[in-house]
Structure 1
Amino acid sequence: MPHHDGETGHESPPDQDARIGDDDDLARRPALSDAPEQEVRRRHVLYIPGYDPRDPGLYRRFAAFELRRFARLWGAKVDVDDKHVEDPAIPSVRWTARATAGDAKVEVGYETLRWDDIVARDFSTPLPLKLLAGFVTLFDALFSGLLFRVARAAPWCAIAWLFPVAVILFWTLLGVGLGYGVWRVAEAYGQGFAGVLAWIALLVGTPLAALAVMRKRGSFVVHLMDDGGAQRSYARRLDPLTEARIDAFASRIRAIKAAAQVQELLIVGHSSGSFMAIDAVARALEAEPELGNGDRPAIALLTVGASELLVGMHPAAGWFRERLKRVAMDHGVFWAEVVAPWDTLNFPHRSPVEELKLDVPADCPNPTFRRAFLTKMLKAESIAKLRRERNIFRAHFQFIMANEVRGPFDYFSLVCSPWRTKTQFRRTAKGAYMSPHLGAPVYPAPKEPVAA
């Protein structure tokens, strides 16, 4: 079965398979290596973002800012290229960073695989078609049983999925009420037919007007509506452009492997990028079954804030479940999935292999499944601010942002690490922090009481 090496924090519930950082065991843990050698001097990161229409150049600026915060936390030095290189053939945007932490020096090629044009296309759909597509997605989720499976696996994720439905339903009912009132007045003046027309106009126009206002203000209600439709399309394989894009991503994975110019290739899928990353790796493995063999480069897959179950649970997505199973069973690819109970847009309870009840052998190597906790990532005041603002997207992005405190999951410690990703997760399974420094693992301080 998939690995459950423990949680990336101390606040894990007592019924989990393993805990890290037990206070009475700190002094007895041996170092993983008495004479550590740097495993990675050059790493290539392929980052697949979530459902986001923004220019991927933004991600370079965002990462540069977060890397500076990361460097201050760990006493490291990071230099980031001022410019990025666009490759329309893939398409992608890439840039380079150089990290120094003590004796460790790592060069990182960071490449964002683009699908923002596909998201922008969805965002630009005329509002009447968008509203119709929203109802089609809702009926599909209900009659296929997808929504009930999601609710059983992650209730808060189902609530987030249903939130746009509730908002549109509110405006639709308001239109019904207003239309009824206008019809009654018109009928009293002998204009019943005109009243019916006005009723229909308000029934349709009220939710459309509300959607127009919300879209103009950048409301996440419209964002979530489009995202749900895109997930349905992905599960049913309805979009040839998306299919071709994943094939291009898979080809890029194979090309970097064939070039053998780095010690590790790390493929990162965040949010909706999680199922695209899994799919791309599976397609690369289908084309080249021996892809993960050999040491140069080692191949690692990291899915964070993962939502692949929104596709995998759909009855029409048997093809995707087979691909997920292929990645899970491949011993040449290390796959880690990091989720969190504080993120309403992921599935924090069980690994995708378990949740989908896939038939895998007992020695199935993937994924290593971890939970991250805010108290091991952010300071108390930042956590309080997140709770006050209830900004679900800001919380969702914490997976790919710098920590404020040293902890067992640190995204940029993985990106800049002199250790392979597999080694970093093995270190934290023994109770250590992720760290960009060479040397023996640094273990967490004794656990302090934490608020909920």
Structure 2
Amino acid sequence: MRRRVFYIPGYDPIPPRRYRELFRREGASQAAISGYRLDTGPRTDSTGFGWGASVEKDSQQSEAEFEVLVWADIVAGSMGQSIAATYGQLARTAWAYIGSGALWRLMRLRRGPVIAALYPVVVLLAQALAAGLAGWLAGWLVSVVATWFLGLPVALIVFVLGLRLWRRLDGRIFAYYLMHDYAFTAQNGGEYPPSLQQRIGDFADRITEAADADWDEVLVVGHSSGAYIAVSVLAGLARDGRLSGKIALLSLGHVVPMAAFLPRADQLRRDLHDLAARDICWVDVTAPGDACSFGLCDPVAVSRCVPEGGGGPLILSAAFRQTLSAGKQKELRGRWFRLHFQYLCAFDRPGNYDYFLITAGPRTLAERFAGRKHSPGRIAVPANRWHYP
């Protein structure tokens, strides 16, 4: 088995080497737990950034070559905001979801990701309040011992310094990062910005090149917001007549409704409909324990994009409560951002989901999940105000 894997990350400004190191480290752990051999190394195709991997399991051997389809530069560009600009993003993003009614519809599906979306709003407002109170107190004290003419600029300086201090602490709090993330999704009412639209076309060309080469399977993996980008990439291929039968899609921890429920996300809704109408192996894996994703929500059905005659992904649960030991769950408790990446990591009580065997093992995605039904608890309620067609 020879497989070409294209990984599309979510909203992440960090260079793609982090995904290679994550695969190496977590893959070694999973192989030791599950009793197979996994080796990583270079690949034959030097285009872009990636790595190679090989698996030996039950006397079967397979190899895979990975490539990260990068849009970290677009992410980094969108995050280059001043403190004042970030608070402007807060106001615009809140209005995009509240004014359109999307927020209330999203809450009907899963409260976890909505709370995660509200988190940066609440934290940033609390930071501004704390900085404002500190500034007022400093200004009042100066006014008491001197004059209010001096107290006013002191209050303003302390307020600004307070906001800057909070900004420096964001590596632990993630409020600014998440604010930029949701603002990027909500800009233009959910319409793809031109820079990302161009990148989607570039990704489609890379996948087509691989599908035309001598690979047994071309597997596209989209994580978080990378999941709906993957949908748009493959739907475009389908409309162009370039969707090869060897292409499969694995979407992980998707946040599709955060984009598809916005009023101008017409392209994404069309892409969900068109891809669901095609004969493609599409497996969607989420977990109710992942507060940053819409666990067990069928992205096509909840977005009201089901084609005539039905269609859409196979909805499976990563079942964190069963596939992670009590000790591991305790270790990850409260680390909701880390849990959102668990799909790419080792499970110490593995079930049917094994990221490393899926991407580098001896069976195709279709073979691995042949005959499987949706996991219990699948949510397919058409909750979107807008739909396609």
TM-score normalized by the length of structure 2: 0.88
| Aligned position for 1:343 | 290
Aligned-residue CA RMSD in angstroms?
Answer: 2.6
Structure 2 residue matching 1:426: 3-state secondary structure: coil
| Aligned position for 1:369 | 315
Calculate percent identity across the aligned residue pairs: 28
**CA 1:189 to 1:70, structure 2 compared with 1: closer, same or farther past 3 Å?**
closer
| Aligned position for 2:368 | 424
| Aligned position for 2:94 | 138
After superposing the two structures, state which structure 1 stretch, 105-114 or 178-187, moved more: 178-187
* Residue 276 (1) aligns with residue 193 (2): no
Within a 5 Å distance, the mapping from 1:11-410 to structure 2 comes to 41-81=1-41, 87=47, 92-181=48-137, 191-192=147-148, 195-199=151-155, 206-211=162-167, 213-215=168-170, 217-233=171-187, 236-237=190-191, 239-259=193-213, 261-288=214-241, 291-293=243-245, 298-331=246-279, 333-362=280-309, 364-387=310-333, 390-410=334-354
Asked whether the equivalents of residues 43 and 264 of structure 1 are also in contact (C-alpha less than 8 Å), the reply is yes
Cα distance in 2, alignment partners of residues 393 and 230 from structure 1: 18
Cα distance in 2, alignment partners of residues 394 and 359 from structure 1: 32
Counting matched residue pairs gives 375
Report the AA paired with residue 394 of structure 1.
Answer: R
Cα distance in 1, alignment partners of residues 32 and 338 from structure 2: 21
Q: CA deviation at 1:350?
A: 2.5
**CA 1:257 to 1:235, structure 2 compared with 1: closer, same or farther past 3 Å?**
farther
Report the AA paired with residue 315 of structure 1.
Answer: P
**CA 1:63 to 1:280, structure 2 compared with 1: closer, same or farther past 3 Å?**
same
* Residue 415 (1) aligns with residue 368 (2): no
Cα distance in 2, alignment partners of residues 100 and 235 from structure 1: 47
Unpaired runs of at least 5, structure 2: 376-389
Cα distance in 1, alignment partners of residues 190 and 311 from structure 2: 28
Cα distance in 1, alignment partners of residues 49 and 264 from structure 2: 33
**CA 1:130 to 1:430, structure 2 compared with 1: closer, same or farther past 3 Å?**
closer
- C-alpha distance after superposition, 1:360-401 (max 9, x if no partner): 223x332111122113322221112112xx111211111111
Q: CA deviation at 1:284?
A: 1.7
Cα distance in 2, alignment partners of residues 182 and 382 from structure 1: 46
- C-alpha distance after superposition, 1:99-128 (max 9, x if no partner): 111231111111111112222223333333
Asked whether the equivalents of residues 305 and 339 of structure 1 are also in contact (C-alpha less than 8 Å), the reply is yes
Cα distance in 1, alignment partners of residues 326 and 139 from structure 2: 55
Structure 2 residue matching 1:291: 3-state secondary structure: coil
After superposing the two structures, state which structure 1 stretch, 264-273 or 217-226, moved more: 217-226
- C-alpha distance after superposition, 1:204-228 (max 9, x if no partner): 55334322x223x453222211111
Q: CA deviation at 1:196?
A: 4.8
Q: Tell which structure's C-alpha radius of gyration is larger.
A: 1
**CA 1:176 to 1:78, structure 2 compared with 1: closer, same or farther past 3 Å?**
closer
Cα distance in 2, alignment partners of residues 426 and 282 from structure 1: 23
Cα distance in 1, alignment partners of residues 129 and 76 from structure 2: 30
| Aligned position for 1:442 | none
Q: Relative contact order (C-alpha < 8 Å, sep 6+): which is higher?
A: 1
| Aligned position for 2:378 | none
Structure 2 residue matching 1:412: 3-state secondary structure: helix
Unpaired runs of at least 5, structure 1: 1-40, 432-452
